[in-house]
Structure 1
């Protein structure tokens, strides 16, 4: 019962927050869409801000569970990440709203940091037979942040993509961008001694 409540609330809250941000979202709309009691949502989450944080954490966990960065197949991993973002554009919108409306440390940030550090550590230790050291770890972190930016920007500013790219077809433009981002990730990895 609680799992069904969370799933319905999460889907409704994700759509509401992605469309309107933290300030513009309304718990009553979330409750109506989730077919849940508004007071139950407040009781379960505590506040609209905590619900927003839970939604962002859930989406971040979803992408973390769905995608792994394989040091031996970086370009393919980046292609899978690109595809995930294409299928889940709400994550970019949520992250943009979070940056605009909650610029300080957000709830759950420590857990997310641990997960990212685990992935970066794995990449550092297994990529190109690497030996863990601080400089190599920082290179992996920089590479990860840059690659995520290259992917997310395509979905954060689709109007800019349409202005810059000379593509009539949206799907063709995204395939072109996917290939370009994969190649950029490969080149960046090689320039940092990975791959």
Structure 2
């Protein structure tokens, strides 16, 4: 049987995603990632470099996944936010990874920060084209309004998954599924109201 480098790389990536989401960068162990991937540590270093580079690759790929699978459609923002909520519910590891990144970042810039900033700026510009920020003067002022709006919307979605214990305490729902359905409806309606006001 021949060695399949792509399959090995994919197994390492999946094992690393689970390990980093569960334990963060500091708590993750290359040995556990290698065991989970059924690969040796040398393969991890060969394909990804060090642990920090692997963490960065995982964050970038997860961000690409959400950006490509659930882009924010400025013309149907409430429906798109519902889809984004569903994506986060199916992939809670992204919120955990972003929280670990915030807690453990040793540098002033996040992983692939410039690339990620450009993606979000593109969304903000799309929102301006769709009419967000029309109350502000044309140009950069409208982009700023759209950026604030985008960050608010992302917070409305992500907070539901960032603090599940707080969600349980505040909502007092016996069932997590019911709580998330309730929150999804409220988030979508809130965004719909904000979009109408804008």
TM over 0.5: yes
Is residue 62 of structure 2 the alignment partner of residue 71 of structure 1? no
TM-score by length of 1: 0.92
Q: Which residue of 2 aligns with 1:146?
A: 152
Return the structure number with greater relative CO, CA threshold 8 A, min gap 6.
1
Q: Which residue of 2 aligns with 1:184?
A: 190
Shift of 1:106: 2.2
The answer to whether the 8 A contact 1:85-1:152 is kept is yes
Structure 1 residue runs of 4 or more that deviate by more than 6 Å after TM superposition: none
Name the CA shift for 1:132/1:80 in 2 (closer, same or farther; >3 Å). farther
Is residue 105 of structure 2 the alignment partner of residue 102 of structure 1? yes
Shift of 1:2: 3.5
The answer to whether the 8 A contact 2:72-2:123 is kept is yes
The answer to whether the 8 A contact 2:132-2:145 is kept is no
The number of equivalent residue pairs is: 192
Shift of 1:99: 0.2
1:87-141 deviations in Å (ceiling 9; x for gaps): 0000000000000000621231111111111122122113469695212111111
Q: Which residue of 2 aligns with 1:126?
A: 130
TM-score by length of 2: 0.91
Q: Which residue of 2 aligns with 1:166?
A: 172
CA RMSD in angstroms comes to: 1.7
Q: Distance in 2 between matches of 1:146 and 1:24?
A: 31
44-53 or 3-12: bigger deviation: 3-12
Q: Distance in 1 between matches of 2:166 and 2:121?
A: 32
Gaps of 5+ in 1: none
**Match for 1:111 among 110, 115, 120?**
115
The answer to whether the 8 A contact 1:75-1:186 is kept is yes
The answer to whether the 8 A contact 1:124-1:132 is kept is no
